[in-house]
Amino acid sequence: MAEKFLRLPEVRLRVPYSRSQIYRLVATGDFPKPYSLGARAVAWLERDIESWIAERSRRNLGTYPPPASRSKENTVSPAGTGGIW
């Protein structure tokens, strides 16, 4: 199976960072380094980005409190339906 390279716009669709933030993270070693494709072109291996996302998900798993339970008495109905659901 051939490796797939992702250019910066494709990487940005997968991670919530700007171009400058991605390069800051690369410089600090907190994001995968891109590969040079030529004099003015770089790209990331798709598997490197997927691994980075998976690792971040594993690290963050369980760090947030579970969502508060919602009772019908405490919720407001969507606009236009009137009343409490």
**Domains of the chain and CATH, by start:** 5-60 (1.10.238)
User: Angle CA(60)–CA(32)–CA(44) in degrees, nearest 5?
Assistant: 120
Confidence of residue 85 (pLDDT cuts 50, 70, 90): very low
Q: What single DSSP character describes residue 16? A: S
Q: What single DSSP character describes residue 72? A: G
Residues 11 and 25: their CA atoms lie apart, in Å, by: 13
What are 43's strand-pairing partners? Answer: 35
What is the per-residue pLDDT across 2-61, written as a single tens digit (0 to 9) for each? 899 999 999 999 999 999 999 999 999 999 999 999 999 999 999 999 999 999 988 887
- Residue-level pLDDT at 78: 58
Burial of residue 85 (CB within 10 Å: 0-12, 13-18, 19+) is: exposed
